[in-house]
């Protein structure tokens, strides 16, 4: 991402922090973030004690999105403080579950809005800072974008600075920029837990948790339904066995290292666009043996490369084609018949003429 971008150009894995000092600027950024997610067919989860639905309804039909399940509102007790406890690991687990839910239900990604100004009165605010720091290692493994809201008027200056230091990017209005005060999670946590014995325990705990995140990602990588490919320097750097089968290759060495341009010009074109915005599209893919498959693909930038997730929809496309052909066939029969044709309704004992010769 460049030094400054628009809020509608953010990427999966972004962890954003707008610090506001008036309600209008807070609502402007928050509503813009939510509406953009709904428009992009992302699952949107909102945890904000302030009533925003009435304001949101002025821009979109919030009730409709809530009923469809695309827009979810949670209390701070449901999202941050389950059973009254602030547990950084449990919050991360909850985000992982929502990210998986978004993938399973066919959304392009996940957006979360969290207004955590309440942290000012919580007796263990350092646990929340721990969560914010860990989030910076966790988010790049997901398709999630998070907006964390803090009211400058209500927070202690020292706590406000620490919250700011735990966010890689800051937001002002609809402009997003890199945060010059950002401290990477390892250094941030080291400073947060200055006691060496606590620090060592935390480092071991942090490693176990990150290993668990990696384990869950590997489960996705071994999915029998989705092809997973990692692309680096415009070449396939890694893939799962499903990708081999779906794309028509027999051995990993036949696919790994292959130039993307050899697979598909369209995927290559989309990769160049994905530097700015994740791509979701359908593709008629030609396999090495000449046969074709219809694929649904998502293409997202991750760290120094790209992640491609593909699903084979050939059977669905074939059913749609046959249905269309069938409809056209019977329409021609009706249109060319030299007699009166009608549809009979058994329940109402009536008929509806279709064509009179």
CATH number of 226's domain: 3.30.450.20
Asked if residue 335 belongs to a domain, the reply is: yes
351, part of any domain: yes
- Whether pLDDT at 201 is above 70: no
So what's the pLDDT on residue 211?
61
Band of the pLDDT at 357, cuts 50, 70, 90?
very low
Residue 285's pLDDT band (cuts 50, 70, 90): very high
One DSSP character per residue, 41-67 reads: T-EEEEE-SS--HHHHTTTS-HHHHHH
Residue 344 lies in a domain: yes
Burial class (CB in 10 A: 0-12, 13-18, 19+), 339: exposed
What's residue 340's pLDDT?
58
Residue 304 in domain:
yes
Residue 207 lies in a domain: yes
| Mean pLDDT, residues 297-315 taken together | 87
Residue 317 resides in a domain: no
Residue predicted with more confidence, 182 or 140: 182
Q: What is the pTM of this model?
A: 0.58
Q: Based on the domain organization, do 300 and 183 belong to the same domain? A: no
Instruction: Say if strands 292-302 and 71-73 run parallel, antiparallel, or are unpaired.
Output: unpaired
293 and 185 within one domain: no
Domain assignment present for 257:
yes
Residue 2 has pLDDT above 60, yes or no: no
pLDDT over 60 (residue 197): no
Q: Considering its fold, how many domains does the chain have in total?
A: 3
pLDDT in tens, 18-31: 988 898 989 999 99
pLDDT over 70 at 289, yes or no: yes
Tell me, yes or no, whether 204 and 255 share the same domain. no
DSSP element (H, E) containing 341: strand 341-345
Binned at pLDDT 50, 70 and 90, residue 341 comes out as low
Over residues 319-346, mean pLDDT: 69
For position 91, what pLDDT does the model report? Answer: 92
Which of 220, 243, 266 terminates a domain? The answer is: 220
pLDDT of residue 126: 85
Q: Which of 186, 220, 254 is the last residue of a domain?
A: 220
Q: Answer with the one of 166, 199, 220 that is the final residue of a domain.
A: 220
Separation CA 139–CA 211 (nearest Å): 14
Whether 346 and 260 share a structural domain:
no
Query: Quick one: 275 and 205 in the same domain?
Result: no
pLDDT tens digits, one per residue of 125-162: 888 999 999 999 888 888 899 999 999 999 989 899 99
Averaged confidence pLDDT in the chain: 84
Higher pLDDT, 215 or 225: 225
What is the per-residue pLDDT for 355?
47
Task: Please report which confidence band the pLDDT of residue 202 belongs to, taking 50, 70 and 90 as the band edges.
Answer: low
Q: What is the mean pLDDT of residues 119-130?
A: 87
Q: Which pLDDT belongs to residue 347? A: 54
Helix axis angle for 125-138 and 88-104, nearest 10°, is 40
Is the separation of the CB atoms in 162 and 150 below 8 Å? no
Note whether 119 and 159 are within 8 A (CB).
Answer: yes
Say if residue 41 is in the same domain as residue 156.
yes
Residues 288 and 290: their CA atoms lie apart, in Å, by 5
Structural domain span for residue 230: 222-312
Same domain, 40 and 140: yes
Q: Which of 41-50, 193-202, 279-288 has the weakest average pLDDT?
A: 193-202
What is the per-residue pLDDT across 139-148, written as a single tens digit (0 to 9) for each? 888 889 999 9
State whether 53 and 155 are in the same domain: yes
| Residues 78 and 189 reside in one and the same domain | yes
Q: What is the C-alpha separation between 341 and 354, in angstroms, rounded? A: 5
Question: Which segments of the chain does DSSP mark as H helices, in order?
Answer: 23-39, 53-56, 62-68, 76-79, 88-104, 125-138, 157-165, 185-192, 196-221, 241-247, 252-255, 260-263, 265-274, 314-336
Which pLDDT value is given to residue 206? 59
Tell me what pLDDT residue 277 has: 85
Tell whether 53 and 164 lie within a shared domain: yes
Whether 351 has a pLDDT exceeding 70, the answer reads: no
What local confidence, expressed as pLDDT, does residue 182 receive?
94
| 15-69 confidence digits (pLDDT tens) | 999 988 898 989 999 999 999 999 999 999 999 977 898 899 999 999 999 999 9
Same domain as 236, residue 212: no
Residues 104 and 241 grouped into a single domain: no
CA distance 69 to 82: 22
Which CATH number goes with the domain that contains 43?
3.40.50
Assigned domain for 249 exists? yes
């Amino acid at each position: 991402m460049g030094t400054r971008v628009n809020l509608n150009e953010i990427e999966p894995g972004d962890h954003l922090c707008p610090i506001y000092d008036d309600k209008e600027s807070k609502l402007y950024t928050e509503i813009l973030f939510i509406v953009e997610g709904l428009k992009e067919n992302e699952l949107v989860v909102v945890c904000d004690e302030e009533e925003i639905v009435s304001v949101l309804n002025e821009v979109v039909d919030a009730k409709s999105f809530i009923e469809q399940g695309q827009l979810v509102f949670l209390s701070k007790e449901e999202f941050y403080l389950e059973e009254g406890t602030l547990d950084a690991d449990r919050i991360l687990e909850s985000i992982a579950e929502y990210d998986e839910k978004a993938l399973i239900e066919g959304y392009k990604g996940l957006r979360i809005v969290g207004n955590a100004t309440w942290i000012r009165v919580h007796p263990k605010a350092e646990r929340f800072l721990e969560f914010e720091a860990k989030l910076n290692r966790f988010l790049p493994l997901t398709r999630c974008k998070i907006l964390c809201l803090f009211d400058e008027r209500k927070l202690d200056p020292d706590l406000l600075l620490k919250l700011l230091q735990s966010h890689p990017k800051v937001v002002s209005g609809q402009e997003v920029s890199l945060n010059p005060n950002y401290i990477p999670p390892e250094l941030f946590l080291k400073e947060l837990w200055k006691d060496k014995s606590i620090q060592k325990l935390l480092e071991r705990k942090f490693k176990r948790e990150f290993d668990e995140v990696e384990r869950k990602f590997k489960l996705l990588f071994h999915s029998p339904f989705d092809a997973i490919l990692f692309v680096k320097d415009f070449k396939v750097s890694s893939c799962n066995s499903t990708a081999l089968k779906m794309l028509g290759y027999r051995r990993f060495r036949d696919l790994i290292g292959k130039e993307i341009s050899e697979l598909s010009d369209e995927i290559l074109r989309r990769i160049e666009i994905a530097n700015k915005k994740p791509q979701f599209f359908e593709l008629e893919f030609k396999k090495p043996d000449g046969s074709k498959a219809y694929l649904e693909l998502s293409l997202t930038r991750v760290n120094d490369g790209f992640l491609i997730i593909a699903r084979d929809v050939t059977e669905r496309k074939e059913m749609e084609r046959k249905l269309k052909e069938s409809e056209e066939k019977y329409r021609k029969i009706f249109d060319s018949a030299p007699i009166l044709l009608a549809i009979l309704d058994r329940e109402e004992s009536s008929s509806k003429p279709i064509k009179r010769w």
